[in-house]
Amino acid sequence: MSCRSCVSGNQAEFPAEMMLHFRGLKNVNKPPIWIFPTVLVCLACGFSEFVAPKSELALLSDPTPTLESFAQSNCG
């Protein structure tokens, strides 16, 4: 598989941890969402991509995640 940006084949996968924040003032009180994807990094141009885990997709699409759903996702 080659890089979708520069077509280089010089890519490597890295385990990662990311904290995703909801944008905007109306979301300032929403807790951030931790995800632990494998990131594919192009070592030629830096273009990187990953797939968010399915269990976190519900939290990311939930307009009003609660502290309980946050705890279940991050602690369960």
Binding site for Zn ion (CB under 5 A): 3, 5-6, 8, 42, 44-45, 47
Closest approach of Cβ 52 to Zn ion, in Å?
Answer: 21
| CA 48 – CA 55 distance, rounded (Å) | 21
Q: How far is the CB of 45 from Zn ion (least distance, A)?
A: 3
In the complex, what is the shortest distance from the CB of residue 49 to Zn ion, in angstroms, rounded to a whole number?
10
Looking at the Cβ atoms of 6 and 51, the one nearer to Zn ion is 6
Instruction: Return d(Cα 34, Cα 62) in angstroms, integer.
Output: 15
Q: d(Cα 62, Cα 46) in Å, to the nearest integer?
A: 31
The 8-class DSSP code of residue 42 comes to E
